[in-house]
Chains A and B, each alone.
Chain A
């Protein structure tokens, strides 16, 4: 009897989460322990304020062209490995090695980091995916350091598309998937790119000159084979997400205090 009441209560809670998920992304922690009470006006203002400026989180100061160059982000594969859709992102080909255009990479990286920051600001779940065994540990540590999730092992077919059946009803899917390498080891594209597109989950991905950038929402053309480059990406994503979360806490305090000071009718 008590169990039935409990499940009913939980189901009601989950339903309410599904209904409000469009307006406000809430993490499990914030639902369990309500922090700062604020009315819907203050909440809306807090969520819309970052959208007013193009670079609200000032992510352009996190990296520079020289940093990308020193981390060997511009080096691509040989000409024979090139994917035809990566042609527009290449600066050229030098002695049969493709060189990625870092001017384009700078802009696209800025867009990708900005999107990541906004998702993290709104409390979205971020999943890091990479099947490169050389960088598996690094990616997992990065995810742990910024409080998000990583999947660097074998990808089961129905992980995103069959989630309610495989993991139980009401499981929450990631709101953003970040690929540190979009390929499997056998030079097939990672299944998660197609699956995330099927489930309407936006993706950010580092695409090398042999990758297919078409299904990735925010492709970042760059080297995904050199440890220096992958460490740079991990560091940038970690700093972005931490910065966005800190900003969110700051804004909550700010708006929560201002809402408490004005008596609401």
Chain B
């Protein structure tokens, strides 16, 4: 799901062909539901008499080729399995997951969602195994309510420690992160590698 959002956002920001972009992004969202309904928009584009048109070159040609390939891939995936993810192995799903792509968790900026509030403690889930608990900041604390999205700087995915005389680590069943602030609209200060939460 996170990979899907990234692809869609990159399409939006990268392409300057507005109508084609809208069609492709709509297609990618709808591909799981109706892979055939998108054939007409793709078809009408390609159905224009190729002989009469000037052969496209450069970016235009490459973009058409790529979107054509992607369309064909989505169509075949829609026919064979219920979703494109069905055929992926666990190893490839793991390798492409945001958690693994992120690397070491130290000092990474992620987006989390508050799922519980207890007076001044915010319980935030950022897509890892555990949630983290942050104190509500003194300034602007009213913005942080249940369901709100916040930016975090991760320190550890799981707080564990080996004590003297113990056979295994003792774990606190919590992650540790520092609260950076609420998730405002896209701004200049936002880390482009921020990981979206799994929905």
Q: Which residues of A contact B (CB under 8 A)?
A: 64-66, 69-70, 72, 74-78, 80-83, 91, 94-95, 97, 99, 101-103, 187, 210, 223, 225-228
Contact = CB atoms under 8 A, between A and B. Distances in A.
A69 B129 contact: no
Chain A: interface secondary structure?
Answer: mixed
B85 interface: yes
B179 to A, nearest CB: 21
Interface string B118-144: 000000010111100000000000000
Main secondary structure of the interface of B (DSSP, over half): loop
B129 A226 contact: yes
Contacts of B129: 72, 75-77, 97, 223, 225-226
Contacts of B105: 95
B158 A97 contact: yes
The 4 A-B residue pairs with the shortest CB-CB distance in the complex, in nearest-first order: A80-B169, A75-B129, A66-B85, A102-B90
B170 interface: yes
A91 B97 CA distance: 15
Interface in B87-120: 88, 90-91, 93-94, 97, 99-100, 103-105, 115
Contacts of A91: 90-91, 94
B170 A74 contact: no
B168 A66 contact: no
Contacts of B85: 64-66
Nearest to B174: A225
B127 to A, nearest CB: 8
B173 interface: yes
B171 interface: yes
Nearest to B199: A70
Contacts of B83: 66
